[in-house]
Amino acid sequence: MTSKITSVSSAVKTPAPTAPITVPWTRRDTVTTVVIGIIALFTRFVGVTTADSKGTPVFDEKHYAPQAWDIARSWFNPVLGGIESNPGYGLVVHPPLGKQLAALGEMLFGYTPLGWRFVAALFGAAVVVFTMLLARRLSQSWVVALFAGILALVDGVLLVIGRFGMLDVFILLPIVMAAWTLAGDMRQVHQRLHDAYVSGRIAESGPFGPRLGFRWWRFATGVLLGLALSVKWSGLYYIAFFGLLSSFYDLWLRRRYGVAKPVAGTLLRDVPSALASIVLIPAVLYVWSWRAWFASETSVYRHSLSDGTIEGSDWSWLTQLPEPVAGWFYYHFSVLRFHSELTSSGGHSHPWDSKPWSWLVASRPILYYSSTGIECAGGQECRRMIYLFGTPAIWWLTMPILLWAIWAWISRGDRRVILPLIAFAAGFLPWLAAFDRQMYFFYAAPLVPFTIVLIALALGNLAGRGKPLPPLRKLAGYSMTSGQLAVIGYLAVAVGMFLYFSPILYGFVIPDSYFSQLMWLPSWK
């Protein structure tokens, strides 16, 4: 009896690892992506110039539009670009790339609302498309990608940040694109290890496993993260989280494919190239983004060593460095001090300040534009208001969808949710650690594309479930299930909410009574 049990158990083998599933790109993918992209361009550009303050910027555009204009006027060398040189700005607290991008629009259309918003609107439309492409790459389904595209179109935050000349959309696009390229790298390295496994090269490559060749997708991820960092320092969070994800995914794959020493193999074969792509490349690009600052004789703190500014500061040791390098580091330390002292406990306050936990339900939007006391037809008093406002059908699902994704990862081994979860964590957890800092809802903009991707994945699962509904067969033209009906219902609610709240997203003139109906929560006012 014992011998029979032994023979049966020896016949049971661990299932062989499977290759990543790849569904070829089809005409449906092309059509849906192009249609969503065209709608995204239309919704971002229609009426984009209507909200202004007598022809001048509104809200935080007042910082960035003039700086971009200064850059545009000093853009004499096409390679170097321009830089802020007006001492009236005081301390410019963000890297130059975002303003340089906005300056391109001002070079085309002048110092006008279209000028400082043109490139932002292009980036805003591209965010919608790449959110859709990320969902397609993770799910290998054009239907799931379409779900993500529709939701990205009708989210108020993604709409508004793409219609104003501020920096948020300029960091958001490279972050979403970096997630897309990292997803491509994860699929590619999986396929390479699988090919090595099938051909027997893993056993032949020694205890550390095979070398995986140059990883262009990961290199592209590093380039995009460098661009994000060159817009705002919060790009650092994504460098850290994406770098760790890439390395741990490599470790998991090496262990999965039976490498004798997976930890050592990852450390020796994968981590050095990961550091080069996801740390070194962004660092080089970040320094390169300051090339106009180094080339200019009038940029902020450019001569802080020779004019004695550094010598009397807390960083007098910088006097040992060459002047351009000393001034550059002094500039960065000054910006770091500014950010570290911008705290609630330090007495800084703002009527639209918000904390990270409120972002999870979009409970504290930001008023970007306000014009009240407008007389309407019939003698009604009307107003025009524009809020950075998250569509409730999307934002109120943030916590449930995060919990679902964690459950799907842990209990079902659904690896599709890992990247969106890590990307969400990169945009959320660091702000919890700095909760005393003064914060605003636009810091949460990088969260919503990944929330949308997770919702789209969940909708894809839901669409494949449920019982057939024969009464709807003739209406739909095919056998519709209850799951598909639920998905259609949810998307209809999201689109309906977007239309309902569109007056405070586009700044339509509406009666005060209608505005009061839109303010569902006291914290929205």
pLDDT of residue 203: 82
Categorize the per-residue pLDDT at 345 as very low, low, confident or very high, splitting at 50, 70 and 90: confident
Per-residue pLDDT band at 450 (split at 50, 70, 90)? very high
The answer, yes or no, to whether residue 4 has pLDDT greater than 50, is no
**In this structure, how many other beta carbons lie within 10 angstroms of the beta carbon of residue 510?**
19
Mean pLDDT of the chain: 91
Question: Taking Cα atoms as reference points, which of 209, 188, 204 lies closest to residue 277?
Answer: 188
What's the confidence (pLDDT) of residue 8? 42
Query: Is pLDDT at 319 greater than 80 in this prediction?
Result: yes
Report residue 81's pLDDT band, with 50, 70 and 90 as the boundaries: confident
Report pLDDT for 473.
61
Structure tokens at 472: 């709807």
Which of 208 and 78 is assigned the larger pLDDT? 208
Confidence of residue 1 (pLDDT cuts 50, 70, 90): very low
Terminal CA-CA length for the chain: 77
* Residues in Cβ contact with 472 at an 8 Å cutoff, skipping those fewer than 6 apart: 480, 485
Going 58 to 61 to 62 to 66, the CA torsion angle's sign is negative
The pLDDT of residue 56 is 87
447-455: average pLDDT: 98
Please give the model's pTM, rounded to 2 decimal places: 0.93
Distance CA 267, CA 227 (A): 27
**Distances in whole angstroms, Cα of residue 328 to Cα of each of 88, 335, 514:** 19, 11, 51
pLDDT at residue 434 in the model: 82
Calculate the alpha carbon distances from 506 to 32, 309, 385 in Å.
25, 46, 8
pLDDT digits (tens, 9 = 90+) for 248-279: 999 999 999 999 999 999 999 999 999 999 99
Does the pLDDT at position 7 exceed 60?
no
- Which of the 8 DSSP states describes residue 416? G
